Structure 1
Amino acid sequence: MWDERLWTLLRRNLQPTLTYWSVFFSFGLCIAFLGPTILDLRCQTQSTLQEITWVFFSQQFCLLLGSSIGGVFKKTLFCALSALFTSTLLISMVFAIIPLCHNVLLLAVAMAVAGLAMGVIDTIANIQLVKIYQKDSAVFLQALHFFIGFGALVSPLIADPFLSDTNCVVGNGTENSTEIMHHLRNALAGTPLHNLSHYHLPVEGEVVTQVSYAFWIMALINLPVPIAVFALMYRERLVPCLAGGSPPLLERDELAMETQGEDVMAVTTKDPDSGEHGDLFSCCHSETLRGAPLSFFGIHLLGGMVLFMTDGIVGAYSGFVYTYAVAPPMDLPHKTAGYLASVFWASITVGRLVSIPLSYRFPPVRLLLLNLAGVIITVLLLLIFYASSVFLFVGTCLLGLFLSSIFPSMLAFTEDILDYQGCATTVLVTSAGLGEMVLQVLVGSIIHSEGSYSFLLCGMIIGCLGFSLFFGLLFFHRMHRIHLGSGSPSKTAKVEEPQSEDSLK
C-alpha cells in the first residue's frame, strides 16, 4: 500500500512515532472516563449532582488552557519530551489519587491538573509528528488520532464492571432504582449541561462503590506511556544526568529529512524568527507577523473556525444524542438510547483507522471536502427521518465516520500551506477545544429552551457554517500562493509547493 519512501521514513522514526501514538492513547484514556464514573464519584465525595458537574468544567477549562500554552514547549526536543513525560506521568498520578479525593473541591483540582496535562499532550504530540514527517504527516496524523479513539473506547470498558447499578450512597428511605441510575449516568456521560435539578440523590449515608479499582487499573495501564517517553529521551541523550556524546539521533534524522530534496528548509532555518513560535499568545506577538500577508492571518483564523465548528458538533452530539433519543418523538428506552454515544465514538475510531490509507491516496483538501459535505448530508437525513430510531443509529455511525478525520486532515493541510512553522497547530488545537466547550453550552441551552428537535437543527446550522468557512480557507490559500509566487521580501525563503497546488484540484 505504501511506497518505499514512507516505509523508510517510518523505520527511521519508529520509536518517536510509536511514543507519540502511545501518548495520544493516554489522552484518550483520560478524556473518556469521567462521564461513566461521575455518579460513583458523586457518592465518593458525597456531593450533589449540581456540585459534581463542576468537575467537568474544571477538566475542560484546563484542557483548553493546556492546549493554548502547550506550544511553548516545542522550541527544543528536550522541552517537548520533558513536557510529554511530565504530562503523562501526571495522568497516571491523577488516576491513582482520584480514589483518595473524598471532597468535591479536591476532585475538581485533580481533574484540572489532568486537563492541563491533556492539553499539553494534544498540542505537543501533533506538533512533533508534523515536525518529523512534514509533507507526509497526513497519514501519521490519522494514526495518531486513531489512538485517541482507542483510548476513549478502552476507558469506559475498564470502568463498567466497577460502576454501581443502584444509588451508591445508601441512606434512610433511599430508592435504589437501577433504571433511574442508568438514565442519570447516560445523561451525564457526555456533558454536565443537563437539567437535573428535579433529581434529589442522598449525600449522607453509607458509601458503597468499587470505582476506585477502575482508576487504579487505568493508572497501571497508563504507566508504560511515561516510561516510553523517558526511553525516547534516553535514546536521544536528553536525560540531564546521562547527557553528552554525539548529537541526538532524532535531530540528525530531522536534519537529513529537511535537507533531502528541500533546499528551501535549510534557508528558513537560518532565519531566527521562522518557526520559533511558542504558545498561542507568543504566536500572536511574534516578530514574524509584522511582514505577514493578510492570507497568513486568514488561514489561521478560518482553519481554526472550521475546527471550532466540527469539534463543536462532536462535543454537542456525543453529549446530547441521549437526551434527544429519550425525548419525543423518538422516545427510545433509556438502555437502548444509552448505546448511541458509544456507537458514535466507536464510529469515530473506525473512521480514523480507515482514513489512514485514504490519507495516503488522497490529499487532505479532498478528504476535508468529502467529510464536511458528508456531515451536512447526514444531519439533513437525520432531520428528514427524525422519527426513525433505526436511522438514528445509522446516522450516528455515518456522522462519526465523516467527523473522524477532519481534525488531522485540517492540521496537515494548514501546516503544509504555512510551511510547518508549528504555530498553526497551536491555533487549531486551541480552537477545536474551545469549540467543543462553547458549542456544548450553546446547544444545551437551546435544547432546554426550544425542545429536543432543535438539537438536529443546531447540528445542521453549525455544519453549514463550517462548510462555508472551509471555502473561505481555500480562498485565502489561493491568495497565499499568489503572495508567495510574487517573491515578496518577507517570504523570499519560501517556494510554491507542488502538493499544495495538487490539493486544490
Structure 2
Amino acid sequence: LKDNWQSTFTYCSVFLSFGTCVAFLGPTLLDLGCLTRSSLGDMTWAFFAQSLSLLVGSTFGGLLVERFSGNPTLLVAVVTVGVTLSVIPLCRTLWILTMVLAIMGVAMGCIDTVANVQLIRIYSHDVSEDLTEKALHFCYGLGAFISPMVAEPFILDQDCDTFLNVTYSNDSFIRDLMPSEGVDPTGMNNVTKAESLDEAIHKTEVRYAFWIMASLNIPIAFAIMLLLIHQRNDGKHRGKLLLREGVKEDIMKSKRGYEDIGECMTYLYLPVGDEKKEIPASKLRTVVVTMLTATLLFLFDGIQAAFAGWIYAYAVISKVDLGSRYAAYLTGAFWGSLALGRLVSIPIATKLQPPVMLMCNLVGCLAAILVIQGMPHSPMALYAGAMTFGFFLSSIYPSSIAMAERNVRVTGGITSALVIGAATGEMVLPVLVGRV
C-alpha cells in the first residue's frame, strides 16, 4: 500500500467524483425540468438515459481496459464528465439534456470499471486489496453525500409543472400528496415563488452548482496526468534495470497475469479462504439461484436508484413541503447513511451468516418505509425513515452475493448476470416511479 499510495489516492479521488455524479440528478431534477420546460414525469427519461448509458459504459470500459492502458482511459472519462457537467445547465430541451446525460453515463461507466480493475491489478494477491476496495467505495458514498450539499444553495425550490398545464391520470392520488395552497406545514419553505415559467428559468442558479462540480474534476484530471508521468518514468527506470540483469524473459511471463480481467473480477467476489473451494451444484440449481439473486438485486438496486432520485422531489412537492435546503440535506443524509452502513456492515458480516444479514436488511428497510408512510406529514419521520432505509439498504448487494456463493460457485458469467440484473433495475424502477 505504501509503494502504491499515489495510484490508490488517484483512484479514490476518481470515485469521489463518480459518487457526486450519481447523486446530483435527484436534487437538481426540478430545476432541470424548469430549464428544459419539461414535466416531472417526462424528466424520468433523464434517469433512464443515465442508467442505460452507465451500463453501456461499464461494458465498454471493460473492453478498453483489456486492450489499452487503464489510466489514459480514466483521464478521458474524467475530462468527459467535467465537460458534460458544464454543459448540462445550458440545455434547453429535454432531448438534448438526455443526450448529454447519456454521454456522461458512458464516461461514468468507464470510471466504475477501470478504477476497480486498476486496483485489482495493483493489489492482486495482496492483503491490502480488501482495504483499498472498501476505501474506493467509501469515497463513492462520500461523493454522493457531498453532491446535494453543493447543489443546495443554488436550487430554485419550485415545481414548474404548474406552469406547463400538466394533468395526471391519477389526480386524486396527486392531490392527496400535494400540500394545500398557501399552507406550509413545516415553516421551512419561505422562498418567494416564481409567478411564471420564464421567471423560474431566470431565477434558478443551478448552473453554478454544476460548474462547481465540474471544476472538482480539474484537480482529479491533473492527478491522473501526474500518475501517468510517474508510471512512465518509473517504467523506463525499471526497464533499464531488468534488461541490465538479463531478465527480459520474466517480463513477458509476468504480463500473463493481467490477460484475464474477468477471472480477477470473479475472485473479487469469492469469500476469503474459498478461492480454491469448488461448490458442487447442478445446472438447474445454478440457474435458479442466479435468477433469484439477479431478481433480488434488480428490485433493491432499482429501489435504491428510485428512492435516491425522487426523494428530493417528494420532499419538496408533497405535504411534507420541505424547502430546498432541507430536502437537499435529506438526500445527503440518505447517501451518508448508506456509506455508513457499508462501513459498519464489514465487521458485522464476519459475525452473521448471509441469510441472517439479508433478513435483518429486509426488516430494516420495511420498517423505514412504514415509518415514512405512517407519518406522511412529519419531516422528522421522513428524515428518520430515509436514513434508516439507506443504512439497511447498503449491505443488501454484498449479502445477496455472499448468499449465492453458499449455494453455487459464482463464476464470471454468473457475476455478469447479477450485475446486469442490478443495472436493469436501476434503469427501469426510477422510470416507473416517476410515471406513477
Give the TM-score normalised by structure 1: 0.60
CA distance in 2, matches of 1:326, 1:220: 28
Aligned to 2:77: 87
Check 1:419–1:22 CA distance in 2 against 1; reply closer, same or farther (3 A cut): farther
Deviation at 1:67, TM superposition (A): 2.1
The structure 2 residue matched to 1:147, chosen from 139, 143, 149, is 139
Aligned to 1:213: 208
**1:23 and 2:14 equivalent?**
yes
Is the contact between residue 340 and residue 393 of structure 1 (CA under 8 Å) also seen in structure 2?
Answer: yes
Residues 40-439 of structure 1 aligned to structure 2 (within 5 Å): 40-75=31-66, 78-134=68-124, 136=127, 137-165=129-157, 202=197, 207-237=202-232, 244-247=236-239, 274-275=260-261, 304-319=294-309, 333-335=320-322, 338=327, 340-355=330-345, 358=346, 363=350, 366=352, 368-382=354-368, 387-388=374-375, 393-407=383-397, 427-439=417-429
Alignment RMSD (CA, Å): 5.0
Check 1:30–1:213 CA distance in 2 against 1; reply closer, same or farther (3 A cut): same
More moved, 376-385 vs 154-163: 376-385
Deviation at 1:431, TM superposition (A): 3.2
Is the contact between residue 71 and residue 277 of structure 1 (CA under 8 Å) also seen in structure 2?
Answer: no
CA distance in 2, matches of 1:248, 1:80: 23
Amino acid at match of 1:37: T
CA distance in 1, matches of 2:34, 2:240: 50
CA distance in 1, matches of 2:262, 2:136: 24
CA distance in 1, matches of 2:431, 2:95: 22
Deviation at 1:23, TM superposition (A): 1.2
Deviation at 1:219, TM superposition (A): 1.2
CA distance in 2, matches of 1:306, 1:129: 28
Deviations 1:286-331 (A, max 9, x none): xxxxxx997797587666444333312312333466788899xxx8
Is the contact between residue 274 and residue 421 of structure 1 (CA under 8 Å) also seen in structure 2?
Answer: no
Aligned to 2:26: 35
CA distance in 2, matches of 1:165, 1:325: 10
Is the contact between residue 309 and residue 435 of structure 1 (CA under 8 Å) also seen in structure 2?
Answer: yes
Is the contact between residue 59 and residue 112 of structure 1 (CA under 8 Å) also seen in structure 2?
Answer: yes
CA distance in 2, matches of 1:81, 1:394: 41
Deviation at 1:62, TM superposition (A): 0.9
Check 1:272–1:129 CA distance in 2 against 1; reply closer, same or farther (3 A cut): closer
Deviation at 1:414, TM superposition (A): 8.4
Q: Match of 1:164, SS?
A: coil
CA distance in 1, matches of 2:334, 2:157: 23
**1:11 and 2:6 equivalent?**
no
Amino acid at match of 2:342: R
Amino acid at match of 1:144: L
More moved, 79-88 vs 158-167: 158-167
CA distance in 2, matches of 1:303, 1:267: 38
Deviation at 1:160, TM superposition (A): 1.4
Structure 1, unmatched stretches of 5+, are: 1-9, 172-176, 184-199, 250-258, 260-265, 280-291, 449-505
Aligned to 2:170: none
Is the contact between residue 351 and residue 401 of structure 1 (CA under 8 Å) also seen in structure 2?
Answer: yes
CA distance in 1, matches of 2:182, 2:59: 37
Deviation at 1:271, TM superposition (A): 9.0
CA distance in 2, matches of 1:84, 1:106: 25
Amino acid at match of 1:39: L
Deviation at 1:13, TM superposition (A): 2.5
Is the contact between residue 344 and residue 397 of structure 1 (CA under 8 Å) also seen in structure 2?
Answer: yes
Percent identity at matched positions?
37
Amino acid at match of 1:211: V
Deviation at 1:101, TM superposition (A): 2.6
CA distance in 1, matches of 2:75, 2:353: 33
Q: Which has the higher contact order (CA 8 A, sep 6+)?
A: 2
Check 1:319–1:405 CA distance in 2 against 1; reply closer, same or farther (3 A cut): same
CA distance in 1, matches of 2:240, 2:210: 36
CA distance in 1, matches of 2:130, 2:228: 25
Deviation at 1:111, TM superposition (A): 1.1
Check 1:406–1:73 CA distance in 2 against 1; reply closer, same or farther (3 A cut): farther
Amino acid at match of 1:226: A
Is the contact between residue 134 and residue 416 of structure 1 (CA under 8 Å) also seen in structure 2?
Answer: no
Deviation at 1:97, TM superposition (A): 2.1
Give the TM-score normalised by structure 2: 0.68
CA distance in 2, matches of 1:411, 1:13: 29
Deviation at 1:112, TM superposition (A): 1.0
Amino acid at match of 1:160: E
Amino acid at match of 2:139: F
Deviation at 1:381, TM superposition (A): 3.2
Deviation at 1:391, TM superposition (A): 5.8
Q: Match of 2:238, SS?
A: coil
CA distance in 2, matches of 1:217, 1:230: 21
Deviations 1:38-93 (A, max 9, x none): 332333334454554433322222112212332112326x5322221111111111
Check 1:320–1:37 CA distance in 2 against 1; reply closer, same or farther (3 A cut): closer
Deviation at 1:169, TM superposition (A): 11
Deviation at 1:424, TM superposition (A): 6.6
More moved, 405-414 vs 67-76: 405-414
Deviations 1:424-463 (A, max 9, x none): 7655544322222223345666xx4xxxxxxxxxxxxxxx
Is the contact between residue 307 and residue 428 of structure 1 (CA under 8 Å) also seen in structure 2?
Answer: yes
